[in-house]
Amino acid sequence: MPASHDIPRSIALVERRIELRRARLQRHAHELAEAARERAKPLPLIGVAAMAIGGYMFGHRPAVAAPRRSRDVGTRTTMRLGVVATLLTALRAALRLGTSPLVRSVWQSYARRRV
């Protein structure tokens, strides 16, 4: 009957190994989440900058070939208005994104986890 005494000990050893594996998995998951959080910090700023650059690139069209006189008259004003319109559009998009409930809830959960 010596084998019957080994069964509880074997069960205890298996349970200990399971607990050690579980703790190791939790530690690795926590480290991975921390690393992902650190890498994701500049993403909102990069997104806004990319939208501004994209808006400027799409809003700034090359001038169509026209007679020299008509081109000289309104080119600077048109270009300035295009840049202003692009900046206003990017600002409006950032404001709409910032005030949307989905983005606010994501930002609040991000801020809570960051602390």
For the chain, the structural domain boundaries read 1-39, 41-115
Look at residue 100 and give its three-state secondary structure.
coil
Q: With a cut of 50, list the residues of the chain below it in pLDDT.
A: 1
48-56 long-range contacts (CB < 8 A, ≥24 apart) are: 48/90, 48/94, 51/90, 51/93, 51/94, 52/86, 52/87, 52/90, 55/86, 55/87, 55/89, 55/90, 55/93, 56/83, 56/86, 56/87, 56/90
Residue 66 DSSP class: -
pLDDT of residue 97: 81
d(CA 69, CA 15): 88
Question: Is the distance from CB of 47 to CB of 94 less than 8 angstroms?
Answer: no
And the tokens for 15? 């349970």
pLDDT of residue 16: 96
d(CA 93, CA 87): 10
Taking the model in full, what pTM does it have? 0.37
